[in-house]
Amino acid sequence: MKSGGLFPLVTSAGYPNAQRSEIAQALARCRSALVSVGLFSALINMLMLTGPLFMLQVYDRVLPSGSVPTLVGLAVLTVALYAFQTLLEGIRARVLVRIGASLDESLSSRAYTLVAQLPLLARVQGDGLQPVRDLDQIRNFLSSAGPTAFFDLPWIPLYLGICFLFHPLIGIAAVVGGVILFTVTLAAELLTRDPARRVSALGAKRNANLEATRRNAEVVHAMGMGGRLCDRFASTNSEYLDVNRRVSDIGGGLGTLSRGVRLLIQSVVLGLGAYLVIMQDASPGIIIASSILVSRALSPVELAVGNWKGFVAARQSWARLSKTLEMIPTNGELLELPQPRKTLSVASASIVAPAGGRTILQDITFDLKAGDALGVIGPSASGKSSLARMLVGVWRPVRGNVCLDGAALDQWSSEILGRYVGYLPQSVELFDGTVAENIARFERDPSPEQVLGAAMAAGVHDLILSLPDGYETEIGESGVMLSAGQRQRVALARALYGDPFLVVLDEPNSNLDEEGDQALAAAIMSIRNRGGVAIVIAHRPSAIAACDQVLILINGRLQRIGPKNEILRGLVRPAAE
C-alpha cells in the first residue's frame, strides 16, 4: 500500500524524511484508516473487472447462445457488483476526508504555536500565516481524489497482465500508452515544481500587503497613500496571477494531453481487437473488454496528472511545514516550580535580534528583590524595549540568563510562566472580545474578583463602567472601539491580572493623561506593596515616580544602576554645572 501513498513520493523527491517529521507521526496515527483505504482500493480495483468480464460474457456466450435467462442473470450480478463498488468508493472518499481532518486536529495547535512564536525567532515573510496555510493544503489534498490515484497505481500491472492474456499486441499497446502517460506525469512534475513554489511565496506576499493596508487604514486614507499602495499591490498581484496562470496552463494542458492519449489508446485497442477477430486470433468479446481494461489501467495515471498541481503544492507544504516544526520543537513536560516570590536576577545577559543577528544588549547584570520597582531610562534605540522582551521571556538571551528565585526562565513553560508575569508592550494590542475577557487574558472561567481587582489596581474600573456594556463591552479587533488611552489602561489591567510577581511596563504612559499617570503610579505602588517586582521602561519622568531604583541604558549597555534619587541627581548636576 505504501508504494502508492504519500510517504515515498515525499522522500523520493529529496524532501525531509517523512518518518522523522511530526506530520508523518500524526499521519501514522491514522494507520488503521489508511490500511482500510488500501483494502477498499483493492476491492474497488477487483470490482473494476466487472464491466470487461460482463461484456466478454455477453459477446462470447449470450449472443452466440441467444439465452435471455443468462443475460438477465449476468445483468443482475453486474448491477449488484456495481452497487457494491459505488458503496466502497463512497466510503473510501469519506475515510480520506476524515484522515485529512484528523491530521488537521493533531497539528492545528502546533500550527497556531508556529504562527505565534516564529516572529520571536526570525523575520517572518508574508503575513506570517504560512504554517496554517500549509496544513490546510495538506489536509485539502488528503481529502481530495488525488490520493486515490496513488492507491490505484499499484493495480495497473494487474490490468496490463490481463491485457497480455487477451493478446500480446493488446498488452503492448496498453504498455505504450502507460509509458506515454508516465512521461506526461514526469513532465508535470518537472514543469510545475518551481512555479508552484513561487505561487505560494507570491500569495503570501500579496496577503501581507493587504493585511498591512487594512491594519493601517487610517494612515492610508489620511495621507492619500491608497493609490500608490494599490499600484504596489497590483504589481504583486499581477505577478502572482501570471505564475498561477502558468501553473494552471501547464497542469490543464498536460491533463488534456493525458485524456487525449487515453482515448487514442482505447481506439487503437478497439482497432487491434477488431483486427484480431478478423484474423480469428481473438473472440468478439475481446474488442470491448480489452478497451475497457486499457481505459481502467490508464485511469490512475490520468487522475494523477489531473491532480498533480495539488500534489506538488501539498508536497511543498509538507516539506516547508516539517522544516518549520523542527525550528520550534515541542517541549516535554517541565516540572512545575514554586511560584516566584523573592528575586529577579539578570546575570551577564546578552541578546541578539532574531531577524538581523545584531547584538542589541550586552552583559546586562542587576538584581531586584520583592517590593522593588526599577525605572529604565535611556536614549531612543538604546535597547530598552529589547530589555523588556528579555525580562519576560519573549527573547531568550544568547549568553547569560534571567532568573526568578534562582530559576532561569526557560525552566518554565510559557503557559506557567505567564501566570507570574505581567507585560505591557510599547505597542498595545487587544483582541476581539469583551473588556473582561481581555483583562482575564481569555482565561477559561476567570475569577470575577481577580478581573475587578486588576481593573481597580490599574485605575480603570470607573472608565470601564462608563462603557456601553461595562465589562461585557465588545471592543472589536485590536480594541478599535476604545481610544488609545483606554486601550493602554485596559492592557495595564491585563498585565496586573492575577497579581503576577514580575510586571514589566514598556512606555506605559505614552497615551495617558494626568489622571492616567496618577493611576499608573498607584498601580506600581500596589505591585511593590504586595511584594512584587515592577520594571518600567520610560521616557517621561512621571512614569517612574513610584520607582525606587533607576537603570540607565545606552547603546545596549548598562551604564548606571542604583537608588533613583542618586541616579537622577547625578544626571541633573552635570547639566547644572
CA distances from 508 to 76, 202, 489 (A): 81, 38, 8
Contact 402, 367 (CB under 8 A): no
* 381 and 314 inside one domain: no
What residue numbers bound the domain in which 81 lies? 22-327
- Spell out, as residue ranges, where the chain has pLDDT lower than 50: 1-19, 574-577
Closest by CA position to 376, among listed 571, 514, 554, 495: 554
Residue 9 lies in a domain: no
Q: What is the pLDDT of residues 114-142, one digit of tens each?
A: 887 777 776 666 667 888 888 998 999 98
Residue 108 lies in a domain: yes
- Give the CATH number of the domain where residue 565 resides: 3.40.50.300
Residue 16 lies in a domain: no
Residue 336 lies in a domain: no
Q: What is the mean pLDDT of the chain?
A: 83
Closest by CA position to 385, among listed 568, 564, 553: 553
- Look at residue 570 in the predicted model and tell me its pLDDT: 66
Last residue of a domain, one of 272, 293, 327: 327
Model pTM?
Answer: 0.71
Last residue of a domain, one of 303, 327, 351: 327
* 256 and 181 inside one domain: yes
* 270 and 212 inside one domain: yes
* 287 and 155 inside one domain: yes
- Look at residue 432 in the predicted model and tell me its pLDDT: 86
Closest by CA position to 397, among listed 423, 356, 363, 355: 363
Residue 12 lies in a domain: no
Residue 183's SS3 state is helix
- Give the CATH number of the domain where residue 79 resides: 1.20.1560.10
Pairwise CA distance, residues 94 & 37, whole Å: 10
* 391 and 480 inside one domain: yes
* 136 and 34 inside one domain: yes
* 469 and 495 inside one domain: yes
* 184 and 77 inside one domain: yes
Residue 334 lies in a domain: no
Closest by CA position to 543, among listed 568, 506, 573, 569: 506
Sequence-ordered list of residues with C-beta below 8 angstroms from that of 380, at least 6 positions apart, any chain: none
Amino acid at 575: A
Strand 343-352 to strand 421-424: parallel, antiparallel, or no bridges (unpaired)? unpaired
Residue 564 lies in a domain: yes
Query: How many domains are there within the chain?
Result: 2
Pairwise CA distance, residues 373 & 44, whole Å: 73
Last residue of a domain, one of 327, 356, 373: 327
* 316 and 376 inside one domain: no
User: Which residue is listed with cell 504562527?
Assistant: 115
* 257 and 290 inside one domain: yes
Residue 265 lies in a domain: yes
* 260 and 354 inside one domain: no
Pairwise CA distance, residues 568 & 517, whole Å: 20
Contact 67, 75 (CB under 8 A): no
* 272 and 354 inside one domain: no
